[in-house]
Amino acid sequence: ALATGAAAVSAVADSYGVLLVARLCSAVAQALLMAVASQVAMAAVPPARQTAAVARVFGGFALATVIGLPVGSLVGQAYGWHAAFVLVAALAGAGLLGVLVFCPRIPAPERADTDSFGGVVRVVADRPVLTGLAVTLLTLTGFVAVFTYVAPMLSAVSGLSPGWVSVALVGYGLGTVAGNVLAGRVPPAGILRVLPAPLAVLALVLLTQGVLLRYPPAALGGLVVLGAAAFVVVPLLQTWLMAQVGQAAAGLIAAGNNSGAGNAGAPGPGLGGAGLATGLG
């Protein structure tokens, strides 16, 4: 409901201040939805299918990127940015209806120790939980540091036209969908064995971007792999963290992990900009 209302207000906003508040409300709604949806997905399936269930939630997020970015851009260019938000409001409203009609009922968790501030601190301060949250924050900060500037890099370094830049971004989106599919095939007990592989791939692709971007086919392929590796890591970490704390605190830790992912959007672009400012290109 918050997402639908925020999009509707954005569609009729007549000042920057109103639009800014509406977008902040939209961000709150997205973070809340992803945390609660992950918790519902885990609770609605047997333990062996929990990774697949959480990956399917993030798969919806990935598909939204693949479809929403080009469609939103086309609608905005053809009819103005207000029209893009009208479309967003309609889709959010459909999502709201889907939640009300189809969301499975899950048993209420036992009373959580996280009902108090001290309980929250104890859960979050647990060493494995802190490690998992740090992996999310550090991984996505590095990812965002590069991805923020990917469109101008594809234009300036790879020499791609605006049309091919759009194709490259769609390729990235398809990679995120593929990553989610791969993540969904990992059983919960195997997450820690599998997780180092996509993290290493992500680090390697980021490290070699300076070379890959100089060759258009390699740049396109690297972007697909970048999306796939990132979206293997995210649902695996989310599932593992929620399993570490149990159902009673799963919502809290899912929200914390989503916050870590969101907060990567602040230092990431700053670090990327600082790197560009060194003059190394």
**32-74 tens-digit pLDDT:** 888 888 888 888 888 888 888 888 888 887 788 778 877 887 8
Residue 86's SS3 state is helix
- pTM: predicted TM-score of the whole model, two decimal places: 0.78
Angle among Cα 70, 167, 195 to the nearest 5 degrees reads 95
CA angle 198, 202, 206 (to 5 degrees): 170
Tens digit of pLDDT for each residue in 252-263? Answer: 788 888 888 878
Q: What is the pLDDT of residues 16-38, one digit of tens each?
A: 999 999 999 998 898 888 888 88
Mean pLDDT over each residue of the chain, to the nearest integer = 87
**Percentage of the residues of the chain whose pLDDT score is greater than 70:** 96
CA angle 203, 209, 215 (to 5 degrees): 145
Asked if pLDDT for residue 117 goes beyond 80, the answer is no
pLDDT value for 111:
62
